[in-house]
Amino acid sequence: MKKTSTIILAAALVASASCSQKPQVSGHLDGLQSDSLKIVVYDAAFESMDRKETIAAVGGDFAFDVDLENAANVIIMDNNSGSKERITIMTIPGEHAVISGTLEENEVN
């Protein structure tokens, strides 16, 4: 029984580690003109777009997972069609990016 428990624990740890490998982006942006953000995800070389989606940014707070095994470029824009400002960051699997500020002036940690 002890050997089975050890194997199950080891499998759970491996599964947990692989789940934490997806890059996650979160933060707070001031001055948004809408309550949502447009997210566009490209591969690291900007050669192909992985996906485009809209996420909630209620009160400027947002969070999303990139869900890629490799580094990726993420473009974050206000969902207001008239807004031209954007943030572009590169996400690394297993790392968490926290963005604060505005679309024009921001800090990524």
52-79 residue pLDDT tens? 999 999 999 999 999 888 999 999 999 9
**Is it the case that residue 16 has pLDDT exceeding 50?**
no
CB 23 within 8 A of CB 94: yes
pLDDT band at 8 (very low <50, low <70, confident <90, very high): low
Which comes out higher in pLDDT, residue 76 or 82? 76
CB 106 within 8 A of CB 95: no
pLDDT at position 37: 97
Q: Residue range 36-60: average pLDDT?
A: 95
Question: DSSP assignment of 52-79, as one string?
Answer: EEEEE-GGGEEEEE---SS-EEEEEEES
| Domains present along the chain, CATH in parentheses | 22-108 (2.60.40.1120)
Q: How many CB atoms lie within 10 A of CB 80?
A: 15
pLDDT at position 23: 60
